[in-house]
Amino acid sequence: MSVSILNGPTVTEFVEDGDAFDKSNGDQKRKRAVSMTLSLRNGTIDPEEFRSEMKEIMLAVARGIGNSPVQVALETESLLMRAV
């Protein structure tokens, strides 16, 4: 675990940097999460749907944080840790 300072624009830039965001969502850990997650439509969630949902969640986090710097404790493998 690590303590970092981030703000909304930092998270937004990370999400909008397609290569960095896609690479983070392509990790083996994320692939396992995709295979274990269930969707209401057909019982599975494909990688593109997972990426889209994660992008929406991360942008919501960025909007919630706003422009103010926030000190947060982050897990080493978390998406937010990759943003800072």
Indicate the pTM of the whole model: 0.66
- What digits encode the pLDDT tens for the residues 38-74? 555 566 677 788 888 888 988 998 999 999 999 989 8
Percentage of the chain beyond pLDDT 90 is: 15
β-strand partners of 6:
70
What is the pLDDT at residue 63?
A: 92
Using CA atoms, how far apart are residues 60 and 79, in angstroms rounded to an integer? 14
Backbone angles phi, psi at 26, to 5 degrees: -90, 0
User: Coil, strand, or helix at residue 68?
Assistant: coil
Using CA atoms, how far apart are residues 32 and 10, in angstroms rounded to an integer? 27
